[in-house]
Structure 1
């Protein structure tokens, strides 16, 4: 039997290899792509070691399962169309998502084709997750830059007349003794102050720049942010529990900007929990490898899955009219990324939300006592 002849060994580590040349499994395990072989019913008969990294499952554990058990449920319909074409002898290339065991997803491109002379089909799966992430970041940066220019112009045009309205209303409020007029002027002042806050948020979003950094203590910024929103915390009937790791490495960062991030996250948590009578907010700081991680976990209603991908988009908000313009988390993301860090959210609807921020530790970190 030559090296290219067929190995008729029955089920092995990766399944029945009756139609795979002897040397190919060893070669397949060295490739950067996931290699799957399925029969005419879509049953997986072979998977290489790359499956472990892409999905979190041992290759031998998927033998006998259908290819659809690896694919995210909402992708089944489109993949079924491609599968039927491949079964009829037509090679196909398409993108889809694999469901990971940790509930995450792996974005991938699949090249599928019949294996000539057999009743089997070859699936070569290329991981696109990092490429997709980079593409999304670039698109987000381009959108933010364009939006920032538009927002800055609009905010400046609003700021001057708004200052005049607020100033004259406050002067009239001080000069009049008419109670009805005072009440009306109070409404005007409250509305103008609200509008001023919106303009401030718009300008902050538009002016995202590289921060001026100094050596800071993250725990101090967290304590100051919590103190700054203590009234809102109390009004929302939220109990805060902190676990701040002592002797954290000092960071090279802008303390004011970080406090703005903490303020936004804490405020959002309070607003989410208040309608249900309050709840708990757990704030943790810790050193994880080369990063300082800050975690905010609330016991609120959580975030629906369909909103998770939009949560950091400019002007996306789940709040009612007059309660926010949807720039807070987008601003937070911009600040953290300008510090070479990352921010993300983990949530299951009905089970609260966790916002996680990681900031890099300088190469020559100093320990804060």
Structure 2
């Protein structure tokens, strides 16, 4: 190294004319350190440039990673905020629904107590009117008088049926319970509903669970509940021939589920929450007790009933009951 440095100093201190007069061997000896220094200098420059480039790339990678981390954090924060917002909305809606159910339950309880007293007070006079009308009609000699007494008897029986519905809604009737075949109850209620509308053209589709479904309950009450639901479906399909009534049954984890679907005009969303309220009816001639009675009877058997509908697409009523077989 000392030899190269001495040659370099000799070359640097030699004037150009003197350098030209140097021998070839001397010029070569002087050029060799110059090339070595240039090579070393270039190598150092390249190494420094490469290290700077690597450092710059590392900084860029760190910046990109930080940007991606920030982007992921912002996205995660946004998702968490949206999820919390949805949960808050759902919770608020659920609280409003529960509050509405509580208010309606309290109103129904008060109405049930009132209805129970009214039904009890009306039942005895109606029985007396019906009995006397039957006796007088049998003894009447004039056809006009017999016809009038028959009309009184018919209207009294109609009032008695209304009182029975009120009593069923109030839950004042206590009857014996027994194991019942749900499919047989459906068929019996269907036959009665069809007899009440003999001129109505309705196609009945049955999709029953392949095995028997047994529920423990009162036959008259459960049959009345199913008759009210199916009869309501027939009324919804009136004037829309041919109608289509679909009956489904299946077993669930909690028991059994029945579905009664009609092809009627459906129910508006604003009216759907009130169809089980007593005395609520969308028909001018309706009493508004059919579904209310069904609600009381189903709940009295430890079940629940609800409806789903869409305007123009028909209505489906769901009934869930505890299954014992």
TM-score by length of 1: 0.61
1:271 partner SS = helix
CA distance in 1, matches of 2:298, 2:111: 19
Asked if 1:148 corresponds to 2:103, the answer is no
Q: Which residue of 1 aligns with 2:262?
A: 298
Q: Which residue of 2 aligns with 1:264?
A: 228
User: 1:138-287 to 2 correspondence within 5 Å?
Assistant: 138-207=102-171, 213-277=177-241, 279-287=243-251
Asked if 1:134 corresponds to 2:114, the answer is no
User: 1:326-365 to 2 correspondence within 5 Å?
Assistant: 326-361=288-323
TM-score by length of 2: 0.69
**RMSD between superposed Cα atoms in Å:** 3.1
Instruction: Decide which structure has greater helix share.
Output: 2
CA shift in 2, pair 1:207/1:300, >3 Å: same
Provide, for residues 163-193 of structure 1, a one-character-per-residue CA deviation record: whole Å limited to 9, x for no partner.
2222222222212232222332232222212
Structure 1, unpaired ranges of 5+: 1-6, 36-46, 55-107, 110-124
8 Å CA contact 2:171–2:296 kept in 1: the answer is: no
Shift of 1:213: 4.5
CA distance in 2, matches of 1:325, 1:305: 21
CA shift in 2, pair 1:208/1:236, >3 Å: farther
CA distance in 2, matches of 1:160, 1:209: 15
1:290 partner SS = coil
Larger relative contact order (Cα-Cα within 8 Å, sequence gap ≥ 6): 2
Larger Rg: 2
CA distance in 1, matches of 2:106, 2:99: 11
CA distance in 2, matches of 1:208, 1:24: 61
Provide, for residues 291-347 of structure 1, a one-character-per-residue CA deviation record: whole Å limited to 9, x for no partner.
4211111112222222111101111112334xx421221121222233333211111
CA shift in 2, pair 1:192/1:213, >3 Å: closer
Shift of 1:277: 4.3
8 Å CA contact 1:211–1:339 kept in 2: the answer is: no
